[in-house]
């Protein structure tokens, strides 16, 4: 049974787009690698592509407001973002190891609450 739900909030970049200094988002392979690393922490992972309105509508209002606030402050540098059980826990996470670290800390906080 999962220990919680992590939402990976990003923009999924098409494979045909070459990375550059101005590239926004992650490739499907980068998203998959991050998702797999996070699932190894024992959490369920939901991916939300901000370009897809149907996926954005899955987020609750409070989380959407937090995402909007970070995007307004930091632009694309805030992506990807991680939410744990509906609360933003990290932004600008690009390495799977950084995502695992953020989730590990969030899980410690959940244990402390119990």
> For residue 34, what are the domain limits?
5-113
Instruction: Spell out the residues 6+ positions from residue 56 whose beta carbon is closer than 8 angstroms to its own.
Output: 48, 50, 64
Angle at 10 between CA 43 and CA 69, to 5 degrees: 105
Helix 28-39 vs helix 96-113: crossing angle, to nearest 10: 30
- Where would I find the H helices in the chain? 28-39, 53-56, 61-74, 96-113
Written as six digits, the tokens of 114 are 């119990």
Q: What is the CATH number of the domain that holds 81?
A: 3.40.30.10
Q: Indicate whether 65 pLDDT > 60.
A: yes
The predicted model scores a pTM of 0.88
Structural domains in the chain (count): 1
**pLDDT tens-digit series, residues 66-113:** 999 999 999 989 999 999 999 999 999 889 999 999 999 999 887 666
**pLDDT tens-digit series, residues 74-83:** 998 999 999 9
């Amino acid at each position: 049974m999962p220990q919680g739900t992590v939402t990976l909030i990003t923009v999924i970049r098409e494979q045909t787009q070459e990375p550059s200094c101005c590239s926004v988002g992650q490739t499907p392979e980068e998203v998959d690698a991050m998702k797999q690393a996070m699932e190894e922490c024992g959490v369920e992972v939901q991916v939300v592509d901000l370009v897809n309105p149907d996926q954005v509508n899955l987020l609750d209002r409070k989380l959407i407001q937090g995402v909007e606030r970070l995007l307004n402050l930091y632009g694309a540098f805030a992506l990807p973002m991680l939410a744990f059980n509906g609360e933003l826990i990290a932004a600008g996470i690009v390495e799977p190891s950084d995502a695992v670290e953020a989730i590990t800390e969030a899980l410690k906080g959940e244990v402390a609450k119990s």
